[in-house]
C-alpha cells in the first residue's frame, strides 16, 4: 500500500533516495541533540556507529570517484555527524555513560562477512575493479550496520527515547531507499539496469535493500504502537532480533 502511494505521488523516484539520506541525517541530528542536552550516550551502540561511519566513508569515496552529485553532499554531512557521535562516545566524558557490556556484537563480526561477499558479488560495470568492490561492500554493510544497535536494545528491553527516535529515522530511511530501488526496477529504468549490470549483483542489491528494511520493521512497529497508545516508551519483546 505504501509503495503504491509513493509510486502515485512521487514522479521522480530518485527523490526517494534523497529523502532516505535526509531521514538518516535527521536521525543523527536527534542523537546530536540528545548528546548536547543529556551529556550521555547511554543506549547507543558504538559498534553500529563505527559500522555506519565505515559504510558512509566508503560510499562517499565511491561517490567522488564514480558519480559526484547531491548524494555526495548528503553523505558527507551524515558522515561528519556520525564521526561526531563516535568522538563523543570515545574521547569525551560521555564515554563513561557508554554501556559497553550491552553492546555485545563487535563491528568486525559484521564487517568481515560483508567484505568477503563484496569480492564475490559486485557490479559488472566498466569502473575500476576496486571501486566496484567498494561499492558492493558499502551496500552490504549498510544493510546490516544497525544490527548491533538492535541487539543492544533487545538486551535493555526498554529503549531510551532519543535512541528510539534515531532508530525509527533509520527505519524510515531504509524503507524509502528500498522503495526507490523497487519502483525503479518495476518501471524498467534502463539507466539503472545498465548501471547495475547483470549476474548476481542486481539480485544482491535488491536482497540487501529488503533485508535492511525488514531488520528494522519490527522495531518501527513497536515504536509506532508505543506512541499510538500514548506511552511513548518503546518496549521490545525478547524475540525481536
Q: CA–CA separation, 188 vs 102, rounded Å?
A: 45
Q: What value does the mean pLDDT of the chain take?
A: 84
**Quick check: 173 pLDDT over 60?**
yes
Sign of CA dihedral 58, 61, 67, 73: positive
Looking at residue 50, its pLDDT comes to: 97
Backbone angles phi, psi at 158, to 5 degrees: -110, 125
Averaged over 54-61, what is the pLDDT?
94
Joined grid coordinates for residue 57:
566513508
Q: Please give the C-alpha separations between residue 43 and each of 35, 95, 118, 151, in angstroms, as whole numbers.
A: 12, 12, 31, 11
Query: Above 80 in pLDDT, residue 13?
Result: no
Q: Which three cell numbers stand for residue 55?
A: 559504510
Q: Check residue 241 and give its pLDDT.
A: 57
Burial class (CB in 10 A: 0-12, 13-18, 19+), 22: middle
CA distance 227 to 99: 26
pLDDT-derived band of residue 105, with 50, 70 and 90 as boundaries? very high
Mean per-residue pLDDT for 186-195?
55
Residues 6+ apart with CB under 8 A from 7: 183
Residue count (the chain): 241
CA distance 96 to 149: 18
Domain assignments of the chain as residue spans, ordered by start: 1-229
Cell of 186: 518495476
**pLDDT surpassing 60 at residue 1:** no
The pLDDT of residue 161 is 87
Contact 218, 153 (CB under 8 A): no
3-state SS of 27-84?
A: HHHHHHHHHHHHCCCCCCCHHHHHHHHHHHHHHHHHHHHHCCCHHHHHHHHHHHHHHH
Of 155, 141, 156, nearest in space to 49 by CA? 141
Q: What pLDDT does 239 receive? A: 57
pLDDT digits (tens, 9 = 90+) for 232-241: 778 777 655 5
- Please give the sequence-ordered ranges of beta strands (E in DSSP) within the chain, or none if there are none: 158-159, 234-235
DSSP state, residue 39: -
Amino acid at each position: 500500500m505504501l509503495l503504491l502511494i509513493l509510486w502515485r505521488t512521487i514522479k521522480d523516484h530518485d527523490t526517494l533516495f534523497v529523502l532516505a539520506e535526509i531521514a538518516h541525517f535527521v536521525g543523527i541530528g536527534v542523537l546530536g541533540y540528545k548528546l548536547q542536552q543529556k551529556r550521555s550516550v547511554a543506549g547507543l551502540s558504538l559498534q553500529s556507529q563505527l559500522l555506519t561511519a565505515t559504510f558512509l566513508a566508503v560510499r562517499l569515496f565511491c561517490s567522488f570517484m564514480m558519480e559526484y552529485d547531491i548524494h555526495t553532499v548528503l553523505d558527507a554531512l551524515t558522515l561528519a555527524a556520525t564521526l561526531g557521535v563516535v568522538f563523543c562516545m570515545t574521547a569525551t566524558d560521555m564515554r563513561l555513560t557508554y554501556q559497553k557490556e550491552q553492546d555485545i556484537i563487535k563491528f568486525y563480526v559484521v564487517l568481515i562477512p560483508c567484505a568477503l561477499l563484496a569480492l564475490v558479488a559486485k557490479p559488472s560495470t566498466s569502473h575500476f575493479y576496486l571501486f566496484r568492490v567498494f561499492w558492493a561492500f558499502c551496500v552490504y554493510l549498510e544493510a546490516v550496520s544497525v544490527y548491533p544497535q538492535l541487539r543492544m536494545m533487545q538486551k535493555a528491553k526498554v529503549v531510551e527515547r532519543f535512541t528510539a527516535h534515531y532508530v525509527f529515522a533509520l527505519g524510515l530511511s531504509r524503507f524509502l531507499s528500498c522503495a526507490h530501488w523497487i519502483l525503479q526496477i518495476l518501471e524498467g529504468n534502463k539507466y539503472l539496469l545498465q548501471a547495475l549490470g547483470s549476474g548476481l549483483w542486481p539480485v544482491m542489491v535488491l536482497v540487501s535493500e529488503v533485508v535492511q528494511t525488514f531488520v528494522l520493521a519490527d522495531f518501527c512497529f513497536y515504536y509506532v504502537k508505543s506512541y499510538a497508545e500514548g506511552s511513548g516508551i518503546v518496549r521490545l519483546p525478547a524475540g525481536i532480533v
